[in-house]
A = this chain, B = another copy of it.
């Protein structure tokens, strides 16, 4: 019992493989009785068309390559789910890749995905790659969360999240990631703008720029506490937040009376901490959805292509206990 393919079906049904192919593709040109007969043989032999062969001919795999830095980051978990749902609804599958922000991993994944002939790419860039055009060629690609430099922005659609928020606190410290990453950079700019709008000067001692890891943030929190200069901390993502919490916990700092806290990234459990943690909620699932929508749009009408778009989604501030100052 070897693999049944289109020509075996054709043989058994007494037709040509062309006709079988037409039945597969629901071509209206086939006589009803023939369709019937072919269908029966297919069922009898439990025939499964080989999508690989089909893709080779039609040069469409109905697969999207997705590169994020790490699914374990709840931000990306939700983005990925948004992408998968939307892709699935449109008849696409996704290949998931974690770059860990390493450009060499990212480059490797991009090549592999293109070699595997994905119909498109959705990439949260490590931002350490100079020239995407060279790497990606004219494969459809949508970039998410991180803004590319101008030369790349000119070629690809981008979906971002508004990273700046209005002023709402005074002596606030910030812990964020490297400023050569756009998200970190934008959040820092937002912070600076807020401080300045409040008519205050920026105190460099209150600005801690490291990476997006908990351990680094832990150290920075200790420094901020020692400086005794701020009454609130803004954690630029959820991993940083965990580091901050660990430090506050160890020092037995009361939140918010001794130190206010605001997170960038709104997660379920923040509701249940005591006090609840105020957070800036990013539309993560939506981010994934919109990215796929952009892909589908371009996929549908190949040429002439409209110019690349940049879509910026809004964030919202969710106030919980951690940012309500109880003493003044």
A residues engaging B (CB < 8 A)?
A: 46, 48-53, 55-56, 61, 63, 70-72, 74, 77-78, 80-81, 84-85, 88, 93-98, 111-117, 137, 242, 245-246, 249, 267-274
- With a cutoff of 8 Å between Cβ atoms, the chain B residues found around residue A49 in the complex are 115
Bound-state Cα–Cα, A224 to B153, Å: 56
- With a cutoff of 8 Å between Cβ atoms, the chain B residues found around residue A70 in the complex are 81
Bound-state Cα–Cα, A93 to B114, Å: 12
Smallest beta-carbon distance A140→chain B, Å: 16
B77 engages A72 (CB within 8 Å): yes
B95 engages A48 (CB within 8 Å): no
Q: A65: nearest residue on chain B (CB-CB)?
A: B93
Residue from A63, A77, A81, A267 whose CB has the most chain B CB atoms within 10 Å: A77
Smallest beta-carbon distance A180→chain B, Å: 26
Bound-state Cα–Cα, A272 to B46, Å: 54
- With a cutoff of 8 Å between Cβ atoms, the chain B residues found around residue A274 in the complex are 273-274
Contact of A246 among B46, B48, B272 (CB under 8 A): B272
Q: A70: nearest residue on chain B (CB-CB)?
A: B81
Interface of A is mostly: helix
- With a cutoff of 8 Å between Cβ atoms, the chain B residues found around residue A246 in the complex are 271-272
Bound-state Cα–Cα, A4 to B147, Å: 32
Bound-state Cα–Cα, A98 to B80, Å: 10
B242 engages A48 (CB within 8 Å): no
A52 engages B116 (CB within 8 Å): yes
- Contact status of A97 and B81, CB under 8 A, knowing A245-B272, A272-B245, A273-B273: no
Bound-state Cα–Cα, A71 to B49, Å: 29
- With a cutoff of 8 Å between Cβ atoms, the chain B residues found around residue A96 in the complex are 80, 84, 94-96
A117 engages B51 (CB within 8 Å): yes
Q: Which 10 A-B pairs have the closest CB atoms?
A: A245-B272, A274-B274, A96-B96, A51-B115, A269-B269, A51-B116, A52-B117, A93-B95, A52-B56, A273-B273
- With a cutoff of 8 Å between Cβ atoms, the chain B residues found around residue A63 in the complex are 95, 116
Q: A244: nearest residue on chain B (CB-CB)?
A: B272
20 contacts between A and B (CB under 8 A): A48-B115, A50-B115, A50-B117, A51-B112, A51-B117, A52-B56, A52-B116, A70-B81, A71-B71, A71-B80, A71-B84, A72-B81, A80-B96, A84-B96, A93-B116, A94-B96, A242-B271, A249-B272, A269-B269, A273-B274
Q: A105: nearest residue on chain B (CB-CB)?
A: B88
Contact of A267 among B97, B137, B269, B270 (CB under 8 A): B269
Smallest beta-carbon distance A93→chain B, Å: 5
